[in-house]
Structure 1
Amino acid sequence: MKNIKFNKYIYILVSFFFFLISCNNKKTEESGHEEEKSETEVALTQVQFKTVGIETGSVENRNLNLIIKANGYTTVPPQNMANISTLIGGTVKDILVLEGTFVNKGKVLATIQNLEVVEMQEDYHSATANIEYLQLEYNRQKTLSDEDVNPRKVLQEVKAKLAVERAKAKAAKNKLQALNMNTNGSNLVPIVSPISGYVGKISIAKGAFAETGTILFEVVDNSQMHLDLNVYEKDLGSIAVGQTIDFILTNQGNKSIKGKIFGINKSFSNESKTVAVHAKINPDDSKDLISGMYVSANISIANATVPALPKDAIVRNGDKYFVYIEEVEKQEVHEHKEGEKHSEEVAGKEKGHDEIYFKAIEVVPGTTDLGYTEVKFVSPIPKDAKIVTKGAFYLLSAMKGGGEHEH
């Protein structure tokens, strides 16, 4: 009899122990569920909802301009950029321009002093004087030769000397012209701009020695500015000559600048494994551009009707993108014993009936055009889902803890 009572007592203790464990597990599961739920859900009171100005809408089918994004730089053709050096070394006498100023073709940028040009001028004048004398002697010997007074050999010798002096004079003149100098003038060699454009970097100083082959000035003509864009292999099949591009620069007041593709390279860059795509820019829009500016451009490849939302409806959290949908409260119906409080009634009193719940739904954004962005949902959503189109950023902040409220 005692054993029966003892066994019954043990059974009651074991049953109570397992009941406690199950209750703890249930609380842990509920706590974990609530924590997981809080990571994707956020609640606003009616006051917050109106204050923030939350607006909802639905996915629309929009005719968007499909684009490929490409990065690159502004540049000018080689014939529109000049790196100016000198053909003869010398001491810099004067610098006549400043960086950033516009110069016309033929403008003297600086002068270099070199005594060798004096010798070139002397050679030219000496050869010219000899030519004048030998020309008279040649005429005289020709007359004598025609009258058989002098042998023809003398005439040929004078003719050869005349040819040599003419060659010397021409060589000296060509050297002076290559240095942009006259046969009569000073020993100052002018450094002349070969194109019209803006003076870039000036790499000399007054009194310094300018060596041959060293770049002294840079002059750039921006009238033929274009873009060199880097396009990856996966996008190359969609790129074609004639497609339009657009990009925005802050120094243009966020004005959209248009261009058109005119050339595609036929080889890959070894470093980036991209292909260079060249696009012309409207000359009226390129006036204030500088060669070498970094740009992020959109290449228009086609128009297509795709599901889209206003771009403000999409928010970024980490490396993922989300939209928010308004949740419809559904009360669970279940049987309970008499005297047991309905869990939903308690929850309703704790939550408050004036709260509106929103859930974050992951999406993959596509192209953006005319204020709308193409969206692809990672998981299906109800057809009649109310998607937040205004105020999504506030919901993201509230979900992270920036918009917590008491209730």
Structure 2
Amino acid sequence: MKNLIINTFSNIKIKTTLLLLASCLILLSSCGEKKTEEADHEEEKSENEVALTAVQFKTVGIETGSLESRNLNLVIKANGYTTVPPQNMANISTLIGGTVKDILVLEGTFVNKGKVLATIQNLEVVEMQEDYNSAVANIEYLQLEYNRQKTLSDEDVNPKKVLQEVKAKLAVERARAKASKSKLQALNMNTSGSSLVPIVSPISGYVGKISIAKGAFAETGVTLFEVVDNTQMHLDLDVYEKDLGSISVGQTIDFILTNQGNKSIKGKIFGINKSFSNDSKTVAVHAKINPADSKDLISGMYVSANISIKNSTVPALPKEAVVKNGDKYFVYIQEDHEEKDTAKKTEADEHKEGEAHSEEEGHNEVHFKAIEVIPGTTDLGYTEVKFVEAIPADAKIVVKGSFYLLSAMKGGGEHEE
């Protein structure tokens, strides 16, 4: 009986021990899972957070602000080129071939309308001058003869046939003189003098490419000089079919050229083509440029322009406040960690605070969190933003230094403790 009681007691003790071990294992497992979840949460949280020391914060010059309401232009982006109207560009050639005698200008120089650019020598012009002068001399003689024959004919002394013959000869010589004079005028030459034919600029502008050399033979129909007048510079922009419904004459455009210190240049649409330009299904849109802004532009420069469609008041931040990370856009807000930092202080830290105040000041951290946004139109240095998740109304948004924070978050700007 005694042995039975002892065996029963031993079995109960073993079972109790096993139950206690099982409970401990379950508790340890639960704690492990909780710690894993907390670690994962902290890791996920750290991916969108970055901390700077107070020294870094001041050195980088990070500035914070708040969301603003801005009147921004909704725009359509279009690419194109600077160009000048056909009447403001001249490809100059000669109507008569000849040997280049002199070249009187250099590429890049400004010339006025009528300026002699070069001279070529051709002996045929001497014959034209001789024809003209001979015709003029015959006209003088025939005019006198016509007057005499008319007087005799009126008195019935001579037959009218003689008068008619003199009149016909006079008309022929007048026609010959007129033709010779027209040829000489077309060559910008006088009716007497030199055999040198001047090559004259038909417009005022800047001399472009010079395609002749002294002593070479200048052929007819071949461009010798290019002269461009940039005062009427305009843009030819390629606009896609889907945007045509929003484009109209009178809309303003603006574009930036790096060679003018990123100065914004304004223009206005004055014409829209009624046919597609090429296989890309784009239509040419023409815009005038203010003459004061076009003086340093060159025909053929590539531009990327914004066509203003309408104005609207939208929430916006300075353009540099928005940064791109991967395929998403973010802004940073400053977080308040003062309470957490105070709770973490130990008595030893408080004891050392008075002894090493400057060192502690250097290690105090300023915390920032990345907030995803959807950017909209950009105008006048501001970008429209829409927050994926709501933020506090009094949030301190970083408006300067976002790129540094992005680098620090990725590991490029982390500080050493």
Root-mean-square deviation (CA, aligned residues, Å) is 3.8
Equivalent residue, structure 2, for 1:129: 137
What are the superposed Cα offsets for residues 120-143 of structure 1, whole Å, 9 maximum, x if unpaired? 112212222222333233333333
How far apart are the structure 2 equivalents of 1:183 and 1:231? 54
Task: Report the alpha carbon displacement of residue 219 of structure 1 after superposing the two structures with TM.
Answer: 1.4
TM-score normalized by the length of structure 1 = 0.80
Aligned residue type for 1:358: F
Cross-structure match for 1:172: 180
| Aligned residue pairs, count | 383
What are the equivalent positions in structure 2 for 1:8-407 lying under 5 Å apart? 39-326=47-334, 355-381=365-391, 385-407=395-417
Q: Specify whether residues 122 and 67 from structure 1 end up closer, same or farther in structure 2 by C-alpha distance, changes over 3 A only.
A: same
Give, as a single letter, the amino acid of the residue that structure 1 aligns with 2:407: S
Normalising by structure 2, what TM-score? 0.78
Deviations, residues 302-354 of structure 1 (Å, cap 9, x unaligned) = 2211011122211123454321234577x9xxxxxxxxxxxxx9xxxxxxx95
**1:232-271 deviation per Cα after TM superposition (whole angstroms, max 9, x unaligned):** 3333333332233333334434433333222222222214
Q: 2-side partners of 1:135 and 1:360: how far apart?
A: 100
Evaluate the alpha carbon distance shift between residue 285 and residue 51 of structure 1 in structure 2; reply closer, same or farther with a 3 A threshold: closer
Please state how far the C-alpha of 1:392 moved relative to its aligned partner: 1.0
Shift of 1:367: 2.5
Offset of residue 384 of structure 1: 5.3
Q: What amino acid sits opposite 2:154 in the alignment?
A: D
Q: CA deviation at 1:285?
A: 2.5
Give the Cα separation in 2 of the matches to 1:45 and 1:259.
Answer: 48
What is the CA deviation profile of residues 67-110 of structure 1, one whole-angstrom value per residue up to 9, with x for unaligned ones? 33333322222222211111111111001111122211111110
Alpha-carbon separation, structure 2, partners of 1:234 and 1:178: 50
Percent identity of the aligned residues? Answer: 88
Q: CA deviation at 1:115?
A: 1.2
Change (3 A) 1:316 1:164: same
Q: Does 383-392 or 89-98 show the bigger shift?
A: 383-392
SS of the equivalent of 1:127 reads helix
Check 1:268–1:187 CA distance in 2 against 1; reply closer, same or farther (3 A cut).
Answer: same
Runs of 5+ unmatched residues, structure 1: 1-18, 332-344, 346-352
Q: Quick one: structure 1 residues 32 and 160, their matched pair in 2 at CA, closer, same or farther if it must change by over 3 Å? A: farther
Name the counterpart of 1:341: none
C-alpha distance 179-20 of structure 1, shift in aligned 2 (>3 A): farther
Greater Rg over alpha carbons, structure:
2
SS at match of 2:135: helix
Residues 405 and 253 (structure 1 numbering): CA distance in 2 closer, same or farther, change over 3 Å? closer
Q: Tell me: CA distance 1:382–1:243, structure 2 relative to 1, closer, same or farther (3 Å).
A: same
